[in-house]
Amino acid sequence: MTLGIVVLNIAPARFHDTHLIAEFLHLVESNDYSIDYVALAVVKTPSPKTYVHAGTVEHIRSVCDLIKPTFVLCSRALDARIQRNLEKVLCVSIIDRTELLLSLFEKRATSAAGKCQVELARLSYLQTKLVRGWTHLERQRGGIGLRGGPGETQIEVDRRILRHSIHKMRQKLDKIEKTRALNRQQRTRDQKRVVSLVGYTNAGKSTLFNRLTQADTWANDQLFATLDPLVRRLHYASLGPSEELLLVDTVGFMRDLPAQLLTAFHSTLEEITLSDLIVHVVDCSDPAMHEKMSSVQSSLKAISADEIPLITVFNKCDLNPRFTVRDHHAFCISATDDFGLDALVRRIMDMRS
């Protein structure tokens, strides 16, 4: 457990910002950080030096003096210069939203591919943080002397090391990707149909996947519990196993995922583009359901998966019993209570014909 302060920047014009605050706090909890203090900063016009205004900086500084936190966590991605300025004034390391997401992904990555992808994302992120006189690599390598030939400045050394590491990591990922492509070819040869479960993080994809495949995938009330796509044949209780239908559990989406993570996870997301049917799992008990649905829809568009047949599944209806669906292409289910799963599985199986 690490101590932390959370600084939240909210623009008052955006009505659903309370959801964003809740989401950020969930992200912090998922990272196992204990929060000591939450400072809400309303920023209409960002300050060019510190993003938040002088009064807020002063306030956070006095709180830091008092509780001496290990980190200050910031709910938005920070430009390297702004981050450095804030760290100087507050005399404490700052973790911005991108870094928080990266460390969460690092914790969750278990497979070789997942680990490589997160490492690649971290290296690319570090590239954006190299600023003269202050480099994030110092934190990473614990001050090992890595200075190169005469005249090579620290920042040049850092850039060189990063370029080299990124190149090696890409090569490693390319190899993994080739194996994945072979597996996909095999599926096509065997004429298997692929159904991908997609959705916002924590919507209940893995819980549904477990129910529909008799698997035991890690499902948890934590963000990004799943990172690697998992493939299993459909096998639902009374309807028995299906030889030709494969179900894929995928990494969850989230609004404004950092570009470095999206690039590194491109091949994982590509699995979705090769499916015959997409099941969009939505948490219908979530007050931010509509924003999250749009976020998933735009992410599917961004990976060119918006032309694939899609059915929407409103999950967790046990938590929102008054919820009803009017669209007869959509389903209302509860993955934990097995409610509505029969109809859903029959619909998925219909796809075969």
Residue with tokens 């209806």: 317
CB atoms under 10 Å from CB of 188, counted, come to 10
Q: Which is nearer to Mg ion, 84 or 205 (CB)?
A: 205
Contact status: 206 vs Mg ion (CB under 5 A): yes
**110, burial (CB in 10 Å: exposed 0-12, middle 13-18, buried 19+):** exposed
Distance between CA 276 and CA 245 in Å, rounded?
10
> Residue of minimal CB distance from Mg ion?
226
Q: Are 205 and 252 in contact (CB under 8 A)?
A: yes
SS3 content of the chain, % helix, strand, coil (to 5): 45, 20, 35
Q: Are 209 and 286 in contact (CB under 8 A)?
A: no
In the list 6, 77, 102, 225, the residue contacting ligand GTP (rule: CB under 6 A) is 225
Contact status: 225 vs Mg ion (CB under 5 A): yes
Interacting residues with ligand GTP between 276 and 335 (CB under 6 A): 315-316, 318-319, 334-335
Q: Residue 200 carries which DSSP code?
A: B
The footprint of ligand GTP on this chain (CB under 6 A) covers a number of residues equal to 23
Contact status: 254 vs ligand GTP (CB under 6 A): no
In the list 83, 85, 124, 226, the residue contacting Mg ion (rule: CB under 5 A) is 226
Contact status: 260 vs ligand GTP (CB under 6 A): no
Q: Which is nearer to Mg ion, 4 or 204 (CB)?
A: 204
> Residue of minimal CB distance from ligand GTP?
252
In the list 252, 305, 313, 341, the residue contacting ligand GTP (rule: CB under 6 A) is 252
Q: Helix or strand or coil: residue 224? A: coil
Distance between CA 56 and CA 152 in Å, rounded?
39
In the list 31, 56, 83, 226, the residue contacting ligand GTP (rule: CB under 6 A) is 226
From the list Mg ion, ligand GTP, none, partner contacted by residue 114 (C-beta under 5 to 8 A by kind): none
Interacting residues with ligand GTP between 189 and 218 (CB under 6 A): 199, 201-207
Distance between CA 300 and CA 207 in Å, rounded?
21
Residues that bind Mg ion (CB under 5 A): 205-206, 225-226
